[in-house]
Structure 1
Amino acid sequence: MVKIVIAGIWACIVTLVAVYFSVQLATRPAPVEESKAPPTDVIRGEPVTVPYVDDSGVKGYFLGRFTFVVDKEKAKTINIPMTELMTDQLFTVLVGNKIIDLTSGKKLDVEQFRQTILTGVNKRLGDDVVKSVMIEQLDFLAKEDLRETGGKPKLKPAVKIVEGEAPPAAAAAPAQH
C-alpha cells in the first residue's frame, strides 16, 4: 500500500514539473535575430531656398527640407560636415542638373529625384554612406507670386511639389558632424 501511495505522489510531482516547464517554454518570447544591417543615423537637413533659373533669369524659388539616413560607422570617417554636403548636393541637382523642369509640365519622378541625390552624395563621398533620402518639404514659389504692396511683401502660398514625410522622432534636432 505504501508503494502505491509513493508511486502516486511521484507521478503527480513529475506531471506538475512537466506542465510547469511546458508552460514556460510556450510563453517565452521568440528569439530576436540580430540585424545584419549596419547601424544608421538620421541627419535632418537645414531648410533650403534654391533659385529656379532659366535663360531669362530667376523664375522662382524651391523651398525644401530633406532628411538623410546615413551609415553611422561610415559617417564617422567623413571630415566634411554632412548637413552642408547634403545642401550642396541639393543645389547641384536643382540648379546644375535641373532635374525639375517646370516648363515641361511633367510631374516630378520622386523616386528618381531621391536616387539622384543619393547617388550624387555617395559619389562625392566615395562610399555608400547615405542609405536613403526623405523629402520633408519641396515647394515652389514663383517670382510673380512675390508682390509688394505699400512696402510690405505679400506672398501667395507656395505650390507644393512633393508631399513630405516626417523624419523619425530621433531626428528632432539637427545632427552635428
Structure 2
Amino acid sequence: MIKLLLTGVWVAGITLGSVYVSMRHASAPVESSEEQARLAVQEYVPGELITVPVLRDGGVQGYFLTKLSFAVDKTKVKTLPVPLKETVTNALFDILVGKQLINVEDSKSFDLANFKSVVKAGLNEQMKEEVIFEVLVEQLEYLSKADVARVANRESRKQPEPVAIVDRNGNTAHDVIPGAAEKAAAGH
C-alpha cells in the first residue's frame, strides 16, 4: 500500500516537474520576415451588412444577410481606383450571386472555410492584386421570400429571426475583428 502511494507521489512529482520545465523553456512562435512584413501593413476593415438575393428558378427565393470584415494591406487599399467599400460590395454580389456558394436546401454541404477562401480569392482577383489577407465572417443568415413578405406586411404574427447558416462542420459565422472591442471602448 505504501509502495503504491509513493509511486503515485513520484509520478505526480515527475509530471509537475516536466510541465514546469517545458513552460519555462517554451518560446513564442518564430514569425518569418515575410509574416512580420505582412503584419506591419495589415489593417482590419469592418464590413457593412449587405443583402444578397438568392436567385433560383427565374426569381428571387430569399436573401442572405451577410457582414464580412477584412484584414487588408493598408498601403494597397489607398491606391485602389474605387474605394474599398464599393469594390467589396460589387465583388461580393458577383461572387455570392454568380457562384452560388451556399445552397439553402442543402446547408449540410456548406463549408465556412471554403467560403472564406473563395471570397478572398474572388476579391483579390477583382482588385488585380493581393489586397485582402483574411476574410472574417461576422454574420451570415438567410431570410426566405415569405419571411420578407411578412415583415413588409407587418402581420400580427411573431416576426421570424434570420436563420444562421451552419456549415457541414457545425460552424457558424461569428468572427470578430481583433481589437474592435478595445477601439469601441476607447470611443473611436
- TM-score where L is the length of structure 1: 0.70
Shift in Å, 1:81: 0.6
Match of 1:100 among 99, 102, 111: 102
CA contact (8 A) 1:47 1:64 kept: yes
1:27-85 alpha-carbon deviations (Å, 9 max, x no partner): xxxxxx88333421111111101111101421111001010111112222212110111
**Distance in structure 2 (CA, Å) of the matches to 1:163 and 1:129:** 22
| Structure exhibiting the larger radius of gyration computed from Cα positions | 1
1:12-37 alpha-carbon deviations (Å, 9 max, x no partner): xxxxxxxxxxxxxxxxxxxxx88333
CA contact (8 A) 2:92 2:123 kept: no
Match of 1:70 among 63, 69, 72: 72
Match of 1:88 among 79, 87, 90: 90
What residue in structure 1 maps to residue 140 of structure 2? 138
3-state secondary structure, aligned to 1:123: helix
Match of 1:167 among 174, 177, 181: 177
More helix by share: 2
CA contact (8 A) 2:91 2:126 kept: no
3-state secondary structure, aligned to 1:103: helix
More strand by share: 1
**Distance in structure 2 (CA, Å) of the matches to 1:131 and 1:91:** 20
CA contact (8 A) 1:45 1:87 kept: no
Shift in Å, 1:136: 0.4
- Moved segments of 4+, more than 6 Å: none
**Distance in structure 1 (CA, Å) of the matches to 2:60 and 2:127:** 31
Shift in Å, 1:169: 2.7
CA contact (8 A) 1:44 1:83 kept: no
What residue in structure 2 maps to residue 10 of structure 1? none
For the aligned residues, what is the CA RMSD?
A: 2.8
The yes-or-no answer on 1:157 pairing with 2:161 is yes
Relative contact order, CA 8 A, sep 6+: which one is greater?
1
**Distance in structure 2 (CA, Å) of the matches to 1:112 and 1:148:** 33
Percent identity, aligned pairs only, is 34
The number of residues matched between the two structures is 143
3-state secondary structure, aligned to 2:37: coil
CA contact (8 A) 1:51 1:95 kept: yes
- TM-score where L is the length of structure 2: 0.66
